[in-house]
Structures are given as C-alpha cells and as structure tokens.
Structure 1
Amino acid sequence: MPAFGMDPRILGYLGRALSLELSAVQNYSTQARLAETWGLADAARRFKTEAAEELGHVERVIGRMLALGAAPNASMLRPAGVGRNLRELLEFDHAFENDLVDLYSDAVAYSSRIGDADSRVFFEGLLAEEKAHARELQTWLAELEVGAAV
C-alpha cells in the first residue's frame, strides 16, 4: 500500500530498485561460487565484494521504503548470469549494471521534475555507485582483453 502523500512513481522506482538490487546480490553470489569452481580465486573474491556492496544497496532501498511508510516488496528477481567463462560473466554484469544506471538516471530525472529533493539525492547516491560499478567492470573486461593478447 503506497504511503500517504507519497508519489506512486517514486514508490515504483524504489520497488524496481529493490528487485534489481536483490537480483544483483543473487547474481554476484552465484558468480562467486562459479568462479571458485573454475579455480579463479581472485574473481571469486571480487564477485563476493560486489555481492556485499549490492546488499548494502538493498538495505538502503528497504530503509528508504520504510521511512516513506511503504512495505518493501521485490516483485521479481532476474535469473543469475552464468556463462562458459569469466568474460561472459563480466559482459552480463556490465549490461546488468547499465540497467541499474538507467533506472537510477530515470528516478533522478523524475524526482527532479516533481521537486522531490530527498528522493533525488537518494537516487543520485545509488546512481553514482552503480556508474562506478559499471566502470570497474569495463576496466576488468579491458584487463582480460590485454591478458588474452599477451
């Protein structure tokens, strides 16, 4: 049930954010185990770190929803991205992070348009972190490319 006086689209953005962030936790946790299976200890550690960071986002989104008087409800989790090698995992992850960037960019723009400064600031924080994740994944992919050329 939407919080009294709260814009339903803001609550919609928060609900989608919760679904995507929980999906990210599931995704990175799955990929960490897969990397361990492949003997890629460094990659497994990196994926575990990403899962922990995404869990932090989940907690922030839940906290925001509760503060607004809304019951947190993730509507649907995406399947984890699995592949045949590390490159395929990272390509999936990069696309996934870009989906989060798109969601938060839209939420920031909408919050600004309706004059909801608190929501804008909240979504801007998550947007900056997801952009950083996307850049880190792009760098990791580039490092793999360099390593493959050697």
Structure 2
Amino acid sequence: MSVDSRTLGWLTRALTHEMSAVQQYLAQSVLARLWGDPEKAEKFHQEAIEELKHAERLMEHLILLGIAPSAGNLMPARLGRNWDEILTANRVLEVNAVHLYQDALLHSQRIRDSATAALLESILTDEITHIKEIDSMKMEQNERS
C-alpha cells in the first residue's frame, strides 16, 4: 500500500506529540501526588490515559497503512514550581496539539484521505476540549488564590 509521505510525516509528528503528552501528564500526576494533592494527581493521570488512547489510535491507523509506528524524540516533560506554571505548560502543550492537528487535517482533506481526516478531526476535537478544561482549572485556581 502506498502512503502519502506528508501524511506519514503528520501522523508521526502526531504520535510523537501524544507520547510526549503522556510523559508530561504522567510526570505531573506523580508530582501532584508528591505535593499531597491526590485529586490533581488523579486528574493528570486521567489526562495521561486519554493521550495514550490518542497514541493508540494513531498507531492503529499507521499499522493499517502498513507502517510500523515510531515516535520521534519526545519533548521533555514540563513540570513547574506551582499549579499555575503546570497549567500554563499544559495549555501550551494542548495549543501546539491543536495547531498540529489543524494543519494535518487540512493536508488529509486536500489529498482526499477521508480515513486519516476522520481520525485527525476526532483527536482535534479532544484537544480543543483539553484547552477548555485547562482554562477552567486555571480559573478555579485563580479563585482559590
């Protein structure tokens, strides 16, 4: 099966991003637990699981295309010294994801790859929801301060 090289590039970038997000949210979950905040630890753990599910869906799509999944170099996890710094880092991560998925979606639509477009659009919707959740968490955090 022939795969468009740019599509492969977008899918690989997306997989790398998702694996980096898993690493970041999991590290933040550990940090929250160490800081004595089990509620935030669980929230970040659930975020890591959701990002892992995105990675799994991307891997499945790559395998169906006949490509062995391979993430590139993962970005370092951004931790922060307080909740505001952590949430700011997470918002940057999610905004970057939105831009990545928007660009990848446009490419897949241009070449009329409906299966890839459907996958990317679904994950894009989740990433937009993540930004809204982070914004809500930031507002709650600011109200407590």
- CA-CA distance at 1:118 after TM superposition: 1.3
Distance 1:105 1:88 in 2: 26
Alignment pair present for 1:142 and 2:139 = yes
Count how many residue pairs are aligned between Structure 1 and Structure 2: 145
Pick the aligned partner of 2:9 from 9, 12, 29: 12
Distance 2:55 2:39 in 1: 25
Task: String of CA shifts for 1:108-143, please: whole Å, max 9, x gaps.
Answer: 111111111111111000100111111101110111
Query: What is the CA RMSD across the aligned residues, in angstroms?
Result: 0.8
* Aligned match of 1:73: 70
- CA-CA distance at 1:5 after TM superposition: 1.8
* Aligned match of 2:88: 91
Alignment pair present for 1:116 and 2:113 = yes
Pick the aligned partner of 1:32 from 29, 32, 35: 29
Deviates more, 1:4-13 or 1:66-75: 4-13
Distance 1:82 1:37 in 2: 12
Give the counterpart letter for 1:35 in structure 2: A
Task: String of CA shifts for 1:2-40, please: whole Å, max 9, x gaps.
Answer: xx4211111101100111100111101100010111111
Q: % of aligned pairs identical?
A: 40
* Aligned match of 1:49: 46
Give the counterpart letter for 1:9 in structure 2: R
When the two structures are superposed, what TM-score results if normalisation uses the length of structure 1?
0.94
Task: Write out the 4+ residue segments of structure 1 that deviate beyond 6 Å after TM superposition.
Answer: none
Pick the aligned partner of 1:104 from 90, 101, 106: 101
Distance 1:115 1:57 in 2: 22
Task: String of CA shifts for 1:54-106, please: whole Å, max 9, x gaps.
Answer: 11011101100000011111111000011111111110000001111111000
* Aligned match of 2:123: 126
When the two structures are superposed, what TM-score results if normalisation uses the length of structure 2?
0.97
Segments of 5+ residues of structure 1 without an aligned counterpart are: none
